[in-house]
Amino acid sequence: MSAPLVIVFPIYQGVTQLDFTGPLQFLRRMPGAEIIVASVDGADIASEGLHFTRLQKLQEVTRCDVLCVPGGGGCVQALQDARFMRQIRRLGPDARYLTSVCTGSLILAAAGLLQGKRAACHWSMRDSLALFGAIPSSARVERDGNVISGGGVTAGIDFALALIAELHDEETAQMIQLYLEYAPAPPFQGGTPELAPPHILARVQAQMADSLRLRREQVALLAQG
């Protein structure tokens, strides 16, 4: 009997829950997969009104085939957490696939794992990838060698299906897509800066301006060492 395919989601305070619960919902239906959700010390994690408990201790995870790092509002704090980043640097080099959703790619990049690699990210922080030697991509799902990354939040589901097709085959991915009735038909045209109506984009950018400027400055300082 073959060993299970180990997929690890390392999570942290302020993670965006859909960044990992979306892909997890799909990946857990994949044959032969063992999914581990872990935090430093196995600490409970708060995420947008939800709490995740009984997590595995990240430092006790010995290996993974797929390292999948989610993003979120707490991403900068995670980048500043030496204990968390130490585990990303420990697990990443031996993983068959380095993967991420949203600003999770910034964590992989800051860990030194995406040098010269194309990676997707949430549009608001995408350019910051270049500070760590990665190549920003506007793709919803980007593939560069063993690096597979999804764009912002909901792109995690498309990313999961692409990953399932990579690990198994397209038919397996399509079957899981059907089981979970994933047939997106959004009621509004938008969702990216390129597709959103100009006045909607302007309002969102105005609402994000102060917090986004602070996050970008913090990330730039981290990149300087």
Residue of 222, 220, 211, 221 whose CA lies nearest to 73: 211
- CB neighbour burial string for 70-90, b if at least 16 within 10 angstroms, e if fewer: bbbebbbebbebeebbebbee
Residue of 112, 148, 154 whose CA lies nearest to 133: 112
Are 59 and 87 within 8 A, CB to CB? yes
Catalytic site residues?
102
Alpha helices (H) in 111-168, listed in sequence order: 155-167
